Structure 1
Amino acid sequence: MPTTLTHLALHVPDLEACIDFYQQFCGMRVIHERAGKGSKIVWMAEPGKEHQFIFVIMPGGADRQLAADDYSHFGFAVDSREQVEEIARLAESAGCLIWPARDEPYPVGYYCGLRDPAGNYVEFSYGQPLGPGSEAMPIP
């Protein structure tokens, strides 16, 4: 039975802080909001991908306290190593950098990691066989 992953739903402790984070670091935008759960429910998507994959963000979640060696994360691909470095610089200034920019053997590539306001880890990578420029790369 074929399926398509369309969304990820997150309960977060601070809705507005998470909206701001995903707008600032991921370029996502709010595409829908409605009343719900005593506040509002927000849908966010990358521009042009509104019908492919979204985050549904809702209030009422607890802050996630992931261990330093926990590599659970949301992964975003960027167009260059320089973009990874710029995101890492911005995140360091904002106090949310958890993995400084680093190189790992293929298929991991060049990446950095941030902690969102709900405690989720978010990776920004270049050189993986996913995302921008990956069409020419084999998937291991």
Structure 2
Amino acid sequence: MQRPKKFNGLRHLALKVKNFEECVDFYHRIMGMDILRQANDNLIYLSCGNDNLSLSRAQSPQEAGHHNLDHFGFVVDSKQELQQWYEFLQSQGVPLLDTPHDHSDGARSFHCTDPAGNVVQPIYHPAISGQVFKCA
């Protein structure tokens, strides 16, 4: 199954992960993020084009903890794209925590986990989906 159109973004997030290579593969190959640069063997930067995700290798089990992070979301531009992402992630064997569901504010989303156990929420939200961000 072909990966759907790229997400419309998550502006910046930095994660320390114990399974560094698996997480790089997940965000690059499965989620479709471009590799901006690999600073060293323990640090890489990825992007959907209007954002920045930093992954660093946790040097101890304590560093790889989830701290106060509940989840983070990637924006899609339509409910149809959201469904395409759900079907694609399902075809890739990504652990899915729920199915696409509507929110009371008109949003629609579902949740999955990355190889480090972080909860990722692909989301369509009428207030922010479809926006194009440009630097002034």
| Same fold, TM-score > 0.5, yes or no | yes
Q: Verify the 8 A CA contact 2:94 2:114 in the aligned structure 1.
A: no
Unaligned runs of 5+ in 2: 1-10
Q: Match of 2:83?
A: 85
SS at match of 1:99: coil
Unaligned runs of 5+ in 1: 1-5, 135-140
How many residue pairs end up in the alignment? 117
Question: Which has the larger Rg?
Answer: 1
SS at match of 1:22: helix
Q: Please give the residue correspondences for 1:1-140 in structure 2 after superposition, counting only pairs within 5 Å.
A: 7-35=12-40, 39-47=41-49, 49=50, 53-60=51-58, 61-62=63-64, 64=66, 72-93=70-91, 94-106=93-105, 109-132=107-130
What is the deviation of 1:24? 3.8
Mapped partners of 1:14, 1:27: distance in 2: 19
Percent identity for Structure 1 against Structure 2: 26
TM-score, length basis structure 1: 0.70
Report the residue type matching 1:105 in the other structure. S
Mapped partners of 1:103, 1:25: distance in 2: 24
TM-score, length basis structure 2: 0.71
Higher relative contact order (CA 8 A, sep 6+): 2
